[in-house]
Amino acid sequence: MLDKPKDMINQVRELTYAEAIREAMGQAMEADPTVFILGEDIGTYGGAFGVTGDLIHRFGAERVIDTPIAELGIAGAAVGAALTGMRPILELQFSDFVTLAAEQIVNQAAKIRFMFGGKASVPLVVRMPSGSGTGAAAQHSQSLEAWFGHIPGLKVVQPSTPYDAKGLLLAAIDDPNPVLFFEHKLLYKMKGAVPIEPYRITIGQAVVRRAGTDVTIVGTSIMAVRALAAAEQLAAQGIEAEVIDLRSIRPMDTETIFRSVRKTSRLIVVYEGVKTLGVGAEISAAVAESDAFDFLDAPIMRLGGQEVPLPYNPVLEKAAVPQEDDIVAAALNLLRKDRR
């Protein structure tokens, strides 16, 4: 770590979510010469969403590498670099394009450490803008995190705040295992307090964003933000919702969920991916298999994306994924069912 003036130590200022990610990458590159970035349009252009910004001017084209539009090829290059002792950060323009790189991520990066008995590791971070809300249509708006959460050997992270984005990314860069880092496109401009100094947030550790006693609402990424807003609406009606931000879905902090359910006796899981076989199904099953199930006073409710490709039309796009008012309605409905 570079020495900092005393007046900068522990200094906190407001950054956007995108700026926090850029700062994390810059600090990691300053501290460790094996860290580098590669991806499409990340150099002179500064990234499809401007996240890499001026890093090419600070670290040069040998460490901020513009690549061809060839996701499978650049993922293979990143896996190979990681195997030789480098710590690559691969940026894909949209998370949808990870489907093209899946062979290298799923069949190689996720399995190599296991297949070599721990003698080789793949310290790779794959950063991806994900989610709906920008009118980018069906091929550029998906939430595919549950696909990769299914694969042993991968870690899957979804920060919802600028503070978490920086801390989780630095932890992901340090990790000897491949980490898929999903960044919601609607969060890039969100502002929040972020310390100047590097810090890490443990991957797999959820956080209770709001304490409550009446219902537990679990979400990640943009859905954690919407759940908090919904909880404020519910509070105005005398309902105290506890909001849990998972922050990562693999590993998943189920113990925090169980503790909350034992207290509130009701559970809603909100996620942007398609409802069927999604994150909500895993959480529901985990609760059903635990002693927390005995505390439930109502059925677990899943709020997921609709069973359709994401529409381009903004009205239809909004209707295809849970919104703040949907979360409020679900909580009210759950409490009504409980009290019949």
Q: In 3D, which of 246, 192, 183, 204 has the Cα closest to residue 25?
A: 183
pTM: 0.94
Residues whose CB is less than 8 angstroms from the CB of residue 136 and which lie 6 or more positions away in sequence, other chains included: 94, 185, 310, 312
- List the catalytic residues: 71, 140
Q: C-alpha 29: how far from its chain's center?
A: 22
Q: Do domains 13-195 and 207-339 have the same CATH topology?
A: yes
**CATH (one of 3.30.70.20, 3.40.50.150, 3.40.50.920, 3.40.50.2300) for 207-339:** 3.40.50.920
Number of other residues whose CB lies within 10 A of the CB of residue 317? 19
- Predicted confidence pLDDT, tens digits, the chain (340 residues): 333 444 444 688 999 999 999 999 999 999 999 999 999 999 999 999 999 999 999 999 999 999 999 999 999 999 999 999 999 999 999 999 999 999 999 999 999 999 999 999 999 999 999 999 999 999 999 999 999 999 999 999 999 999 999 999 999 999 999 999 999 999 999 999 999 999 999 999 999 999 999 999 999 999 999 999 999 999 999 999 999 999 999 999 999 999 999 999 999 999 999 999 999 999 999 999 999 999 999 999 999 999 999 999 999 999 999 999 999 999 999 998 655 5
- Omega within 30 of 0 (cis) for the link into 123: no
Give pLDDT, residue 336: 83
CATH architecture, domain 13-195: 3-Layer(aba) Sandwich (3.40)
Cα–Cα dist 216/242, whole Å: 5
Task: Name the residue ranges covered by the structural domains of the chain.
Answer: 13-195, 207-339
Q: In 3D, which of 25, 24, 15 has the Cα closest to residue 56?
A: 25
What DSSP character marks residue 156? Answer: E
Burial label for 332, CB within 10 Å (0-12, 13-18, 19+), is middle
The total number of residues shown for the chain amounts to: 340
Give pLDDT, residue 137: 95
Give pLDDT, residue 12: 87
Residues whose CB is less than 8 angstroms from the CB of residue 185 and which lie 6 or more positions away in sequence, other chains included: 49, 129, 130, 131, 133, 134, 136
Residue type, 217: I
Q: Tokens 């443990």 belong to which residue?
A: 202
